[in-house]
Structure formats: C-alpha cells, structure tokens
Amino acid sequence: MNQTHDQNLSSWVGESEDFPIQNLPIAICKPKGTDTFGAYIAIADKVLSLRKLHALNLVEGDAAEALAMCQGDRLNDYMGLPESKRRALRASVSELLAMGSSKQEDIAGCLFPIEDAEYGMPCTIGDYTDFYTSIYHATSVGKLFRPDNPLLPNYKWVPIGYHGRASSVDVSPQNFHRPQGQTKAPDQDVPVVGPCKRLDYELELGIFVGQANDLGQPVSIEDAESHVFGICLFNDWSARDLQAWEYQPLGPFLAKNFASTISPWIVSMEALEPFRVAFTRPESDPQPLEYLTSEQNSNQGAIDIRLEVLLLTEQMEQQGMAPEKLSESSFKHSYWTISQMMTHHTMNGCNLQPGDLLGSGTQSGPEPEEAGSLLELSDAGKKPFTLKSGETRTFLEDGDTVIMRGYCESSTAKRIGLGEVVGKVLPSC
C-alpha cells in the first residue's frame, strides 16, 4: 500500500466508478477513425496516451524506462520489466494526474474520451493455460456427469489446468460464429456433425504473466506475484455438447478453442492491494502442500473481485430493454490463489513468458445464484429459466450478447472496476 491507494486522492481529469485515479489500468487502443494503436491508461472518462506522454519527458528514472517500453502496439516489452519499474511508472502517472498537478496543461493534450476508444489486443499471447479453481463450479459440474463421485480426488491437492488455444483469444467486443463439431446423443449409434446446441459462457478472470522465468527455474510462492502483470475479465466460451463427446481421454478440444474473450483494460496487482483478503481452507480439507503455502498467501492471497454476468438477447435489444443480470459471484471464493497457480505452473521448470495468459476457471460461488455458467444455472438444460422479456433459456441462442463486469469495493478503499467483457453469438457458418 502506498500513496496511490489513498481513497481521498482525486484527479483533475474527473471521477468515474470504474476508473478513478486509484486504478489506472492499461490497454491497447486508438481513437475511432484513426489507424495507429498504442498504449493508454484509463482515468475517469478519458484515456491517456503513453506515446504522447513519453514525448513530453515529464518522468525520470525507472518510470522513464518503463514508459519507453510502452511505445508500440503491444505491451509484451513493458510486461516483461521488473515489477519495481512498472510500479514507478504507475506512481509517476498518479502524481501527474492528481488534483493540484503542475503539469495539468501539458497532460491535457494527451487525453481523449474513453467512449471514442477502439481496442486492440493488449499483447501477443504466446501461450494460454486455463485453470479450474472454483470448487463450487467443479462440484456442480461433477455432479452432472459423476453423481456418485463429483469431485475427483486430486482436486483438493493440485491446481488443475489444461493448455488452451491462444490464437482464438480476442479482445472485447468479440462477435463469433456458433461452433460446429461432432456430437453423440446417448440413443445414437453414430455421432453427427453440425452446429453446437449447448453453447455456454464461463465467468473467469484472465491473469497476464509479467516478468519471465527461465526454463528449468521454478517460481516460488513467495515470488509468484512479482511475475504477474495484471488482471482482466475473461469469458471462456464452451460448447457443452461437443465437450461431452470429445473430452475423454485427453480433455478439451473443439469445445473450447473457437473463441475466448478478454476485457481490454488490465488492472495491475498493485491497484488490487486494498481488496486482498485471507486465503483459507475448511479444516476438514487437505491443506496445501508446502510449496503452495506461504504466510503472505495465507494472510492476503485471496482478492475480493466481485463479478457479474448479464444477458442481452436480440429481442431485448430490439425492444430497447436493458441487459438482465443472471448471476454474481466473487473471486475470493477461489479454491486456489493466483500465487498458487503461478507456482504450480512453473514447479516443473516450465518457462512462462511476458503476455502469457492464465484463465482462473469458471468462478462460481457457494449459492446457486452465484453460478458462473449456464450449465449450472439451467442444471445442464433440465431447468429452463424465463427472462424479463418472456423468453426462456437453457443455453445461448444466436444473437445473444453476454456481458461480464467486475469491480472491487471496500469501506476503506476507493471502488475500482475492471470494465466489462462483451461477446455476441452469430449463427454458425
């Protein structure tokens, strides 16, 4: 915690619910109608061009070195810097944007309205790994397929994950076509090929890797978060009927590689400091093994990032209706922390690179209304639910738009937001 977290700090640019001066998330974007993408920081209802800021020569030392790494159309070089240099830039930007700054007139020319921003991918994602960190989601899904043994015995001992497809990760808003593949109903002798009928969303967080570790050099749990660049919202779409047929014996394939959507704004771990909470396990559960345990992780390893899912159908959109909230949850319910995911991922010497993406897995809470997927909300399609428009859903229909939002809120800290991630389902090709 430092002066950038002061809840009384304000900016001469203005105030907003998601992007106050205590946040300062970063994205790659450009003004609509222009050609050149670049790095920008969100402040209130504006975005700050780091390319224009660099030309002003207003920052020095580590902050200047970090700013120099933000001059392209991808953030990989900046992500790979030591955490201390990135923190220095955040502190300098906070000072420049704070009420009373002597550089207000200089900085004003580096801003444009956030509503005019068009987003690009924040970085080149070399690899993408999806974890499975919500025990509530894992148990609910397990009950659907293994009623007598819903949670496999390794779940409480190891952060489960699989390697996904990085090339189909795209930035919000993402429109994608309904995927096709093989499915096989229980009463069929031969599988059929066609559009999936059980298209689902998954409410997740995306975790971007910062500074790399060398091949063969594990990252300890004490150092794990120094290798994390920041957090975004993440919708890891799933074709549940394709998944049911293909996932054994090797796991997800066509059911998961057709689209994954990230929110454009990446919130730094530093900005999330005020919202940390203790990481605990039920006493009856196995406690994490020694390499997955530290005093810091136990005391402040979890983060209360509140999450919600909304649905806007094509009919609702045509009638001018607002999106309808389907569920809400929090990342504090995660069975594994970010540090534990990073540590386990590298314990065998796996080398993570700047810009690599980790998915948290679907974030469902302990209550039914906190489910992070339609698979859970509809009980695998057996319990349709009715929307305010009068429409019913079990899984997503063509024309449906899914909106996910995230924020952190506390009585002792300024509320900050992660923005939103939006994706729309188009008919199958």
Residue pair 292/347 in contact (Cβ under 8 Å)? The answer is: no
Write out residues in the chain with pLDDT < 50, as ranges. Answer: none
Total-model pTM: 0.97
Catalytic site positions = 137
Residue pair 213/346 in contact (Cβ under 8 Å)? The answer is: yes
- Residue 338: what pLDDT? 98
- Residue 148: what pLDDT? 83
Determine the CATH number of domain 128-426: 3.90.850.10
- Residue 144: what pLDDT? 82
* In the chain, domain spans: 3-119, 128-426
Into which CATH architecture does domain 3-119 fall? Answer: Roll (2.30)
According to DSSP, the β-strands at 413-426 and 401-410 are: antiparallel
The per-residue pLDDT of the chain, averaged, comes to 96
Residue 150 half-sphere exposure toward CB, CA atoms < 13 A: 11
- Residue 251: what pLDDT? 87
Which tens digits make up the pLDDT trace of 343-376? 999 999 999 999 999 999 999 999 999 999 999 9
- Residue 60: what pLDDT? 97
Instruction: Give phi and psi for 212, each to the nearest 5.
Output: -75, 160
Q: How far apart are CA 145 and CA 3, in angstroms?
A: 50
